[in-house]
Structure 1
Amino acid sequence: MGVATAPLQVDSLSRSYGRLVALADLSLTVHAGECVALIGANGSGKSTAMRTIAGQLTPTSGTIRIAGLDPHTEPEAERARAALAIVPDSPLLYADLTVRQHAELVTIAHGVHGESTAARIDALLERLGLAERADFLPAELSRGMRQKTQLACALVRPAALLLLDEPVVGLDPPSQALLHELLLEAKRSRVAVVLTTHQMAFAEGLADRAVMLEEGEVVDQGPWGEVAERAEQRGWLPS
Structure 2
Amino acid sequence: MSATTTAETVLRARGIAHSYGRLEALAGLTLDVRPGECVALIGANGSGKSTAVRIIAGMLAPTSGTVEIAGADPHVEPDGEQARAALALVPDNPLLYDDLTIAEHLELVGLAHGVPDDELVVRIPELLDRLGLEPRRDFLPRELSRGMRQKTALACALVRPAKLLVLDEPVVGLDPPSQQLLVELLQEAKEAGVAVLFTTHQLAFADGLADRAVVLQEGVVLDTGAWAKVRQRARERGWQ
Normalised by the shorter chain, which TM-score bucket? over 0.9
Instruction: State the Cα deviation string for residues 102-121 of structure 1 (Å, max 9, x = none).
Output: 00000111011222221111
Aligned to 1:104: 107
1:101-180 matches, cutoff 5 A: 101-180=104-183
Query: In 1, Cα distance between the equivalents of 2:152 and 2:120?
Result: 16
Aligned to 1:84: 87
After superposition, the CA RMSD in angstroms is 1.1
Structure 2 unaligned blocks of 5 or more: none
Deviation at 1:6, TM superposition (A): 1.1
Q: 1:188 aligns with which of 186, 191, 194?
A: 191
| TM-score for both structures, normalised by structure 1 | 0.97
Q: 1:72 aligns with which of 68, 71, 75?
A: 75
Query: In 1, Cα distance between the equivalents of 2:208 and 2:238?
Result: 21
Instruction: State the Cα deviation string for residues 115-158 of structure 1 (Å, max 9, x = none).
Output: 22211111011000001110010111111111000000000110
1:198 lines up with 2:191 in the alignment: no
Query: In 2, Cα distance between the equivalents of 1:163 and 1:116?
Result: 23
Aligned to 1:229: 232
1:36 partner letter:
V
Q: Secondary structure of the equivalent of 1:91?
A: coil
Deviation at 1:200, TM superposition (A): 1.2
CA contact (8 A) 2:8 2:35 kept: no
1:46 lines up with 2:53 in the alignment: no
Deviation at 1:221, TM superposition (A): 0.2
1:117 partner letter:
L
Query: In 1, Cα distance between the equivalents of 2:142 and 2:21?
Result: 37
CA contact (8 A) 1:33 1:192 kept: yes
1:16 lines up with 2:14 in the alignment: no
1:70 partner letter:
D
Deviation at 1:96, TM superposition (A): 0.2
How many residues in Structure 1 have an aligned counterpart in Structure 2? 237
CA contact (8 A) 1:14 1:23 kept: yes
Q: Secondary structure of the equivalent of 1:68?
A: coil
Query: In 2, Cα distance between the equivalents of 1:89 and 1:98?
Result: 20
Q: Kindly, what percent of the aligned residue pairs are identical? A: 67
CA contact (8 A) 1:5 1:68 kept: no
| TM-score for both structures, normalised by structure 2 | 0.97
Query: In 2, Cα distance between the equivalents of 1:102 and 1:91?
Result: 12
1:118 partner letter:
V
Deviation at 1:236, TM superposition (A): 3.4
Deviation at 1:90, TM superposition (A): 0.9
CA contact (8 A) 1:5 1:67 kept: no
Instruction: State the Cα deviation string for residues 59-105 of structure 1 (Å, max 9, x = none).
Output: 00000000000000001001100100000001110000000000000
